[in-house]
Structure 1
Amino acid sequence: MWFGVNPLRWNKPTAVSPRGHRSLKRHLPPQGSKEDSTSTTSPTNQGSSVHPPPTLCNSSSPDHTPVVPLQAPFSATPPPAPTSTRVLYGHTAGVCALLASDDRYIVSASMDATLRVWSRGSFHCYHVLKGHRDVVCAVALNATFLVSGSHDFTVGLWRAAADFRLHRRLDGHAGHVTHVAFVPSANVAVSAAEDASLRVWQCDVGLCLAVLSKHTSRISCMLITPTAIWSGGADAVVSVWRVPLSTSTSTCAALLLGFFRVHTKTVQALVQCQQTVLSASNDGFIQTYDVVTLTPRRRLVTGPPWYMLACLHRNRQVVASAGDGTLWRCDLDGTEESNARLEVLPGVWIPHVQLHAASEGFLACVAASTLFVVDVRSWRVVGQCDTPHGGLIHSIAWLNASTVLTTGADGLIHCATFHLPHDDKQEKC
């Protein structure tokens, strides 16, 4: 997963500049600890006194959105705090992207122009990867390679099976590289940048297979499937591309499968749920598309500006985060009357949503510097804590079935473990 500095600028008026040549103030760990050490603290309920407990919106909400009653009457008891917390030190500037879905490592990317590879068990820092010259804001990992995207306009390829040694630095983009991902079951990587283009790379040899340049503004999101590359831009366009297999058939015209102008503002998120792809935009619409016919289907919901999507594959539902501090749960086959809405932190945008993929039972989201854990089935907040980042949280990731990692501008990785209400029917993780 990734979260660079620039998306904060795109979504909110406050600008965040890339790392310049000025010295960066280092965040020092507590006295006596090592540079890449960890710190454990006792759980607190500080977040409860700062923010009111989240509540369900009722049917008399200003926009008259019908809401299914999914939880017991409101209680003044704040959501439980973490049972334990831990802090990972090492980066000397803000951490922009975090990856913890791999069963081998945690990988972090930072404004200090480095990546760090951590142990999932001991939290020891195995490797510090140096090779970029500016902010590293995107990262992806497969069995063979780690790929990184940087504000120095380059893509980094690192050999995961060889102590993460730098394999190649790939040039070609003319703007900050903000997204990277792998094509499933292939050593082919895709990068997206502020130069309004995507590039497809053959990782083994570092060859650029194609330059996809139909957009007229920066690429704001992308979705990779085994057969297609979906991209959304600040030009409000959703494009679909065939995955190139060689350079001989890699012209834009030959690879372009679809070009949709269904939104009027920046496309913020793309997600696939079975045979349906969904796009969410700042214009307040969530649009669905047929994966097979590559045609738009219908607008799933109309509401506030949208930022992130998470798919509940088993129930054919999607969770969307909004700019007004709410989460929405929508049925792909239902009507707007069946949608459920949850107020997390009223008036504060929710830039990150991360579903625990194995169970699909819990969802982590953030608003400002506060982390929330939501039970997807009962549609209520079951965990909450204020993080030590002191500002916007840059990225989040599930480490396991009960622990969530967060990062921010302070260079720390914060680990919060919650006691979550698992039941017998939920898949053990």
Structure 2
Amino acid sequence: MNFRDIFSLAFRSVTASRLRTSLTVAIIALGITAIVGIFTAIDSLKNGIFDSFSAMGANGFMIRNREMNVRIGGGGGSGATKGTASKKRVKTSNKNKVITFQEAMDFKKRFDFPSMVSIWYRPGSVTVYSGSKKTNPNIAVIGGDENYLKYTNYDLQAGRDFNEADMESARNVAIIGPDIAKKLFGEEMRNVVGSPIRLGNVRYRVIGVLTSKGSSNLFSPDNIVITTVTNVRRVFNRPNASYNINVSINDPKMMDAGIGEATGLLRIIRHIGMDEESNFYITKNDSIAEMLFNSLAFVTIAAIVIGAITLIGSAIGLMNIMLVSVAERTREIGVSKALGATSKTIRTQFLYEAIIISVLGGFVGVFFGMLVGNVVSLILKTSFVVPWLWIGIGVGLCAIVGLLSGILPAIKASKLDPIQALRFE
């Protein structure tokens, strides 16, 4: 018998036992759904991270008083200070010491490298009120300067940005995200600019509404309130507040030079001696995204382990069902051999049956895994992910599982004695 005849016979045998085939396909599909679903979700998360940080550009960096796991340049014990530490003991200079408002503003005034500097601070979250309407109590409040919207790549769909008078007077003006505007003023967002709102118990006047970030909402940028950093310092005063400094270098090729210049200037401003470590950390924007990508490696490893366990279970289940099929079709096998079918033909037929069932389960699992994984895409509002690589891997794994699971039943079926098989009841 040629390949076409054997395959046709195997396919008819598979479709004849619909209940058994359906159960086996479901077992295989469950395993593949888990694998493809997890990896699709990971790809969706990566897309969300990429969208969120690409808006800031690869030519920017952030200065903080605390480490973000990924550090370069001015980090304590890193960059230029690392060589000093290897030769002699380096003194500790108040590790994690806060960056005060005065230090941040002094840096902004004195940093004359071709760049844009933005100062910001997040005091916490509040409930925003407008008349009888209010939001959830998890609205992030951010105090920024006149460059904050430019640095974070926000656009205004209505109103204006902060001006020098807003910064100097620290008056109660706010720019709100579109989600807040819709919540408080309706879907059409009429008469938002100029309207009064309350952040907690403090009254503010809305001067602008942000344009929706759309797909870049890993950190809910449409659900924030931005006021001036000077206002935040006055209204939400925190004794140990540490301000963040964002720097966007005009020429990406000058990034390292800019980081070196910023490190030296801030060390001078914070009065750090030559024999002392830097007590601040400089992190590139693309390093933050890379750090988040690396953190997903643990999820990837867990997915591989879960997938391996599931596939092993699926292989065992498929092999057991195929063995049961051999026992149930003993007489059929005897008839086939009596009509001239060779042991090789019987063995090939059962291998084809196992592979057909496994691959069917793979296709079903890939489909549902893709749907389940893209739930993350819906949540993050990123583009729909079609994981072609994992689709191919999933179907290929199913073919391998079917082949391995069908070997033992196929050999058992091919070795049946035709006379004994014909007598089997």
TM-score range, shorter chain: under 0.3
**Normalization by structure 2: what TM-score?**
0.22
Higher RCO (CA < 8 A, seq sep 6+): 2
Question: By percentage of residues, which structure has more helix?
Answer: 2
Question: By percentage of residues, which structure has more strand?
Answer: 1
**Normalization by structure 1: what TM-score?**
0.22
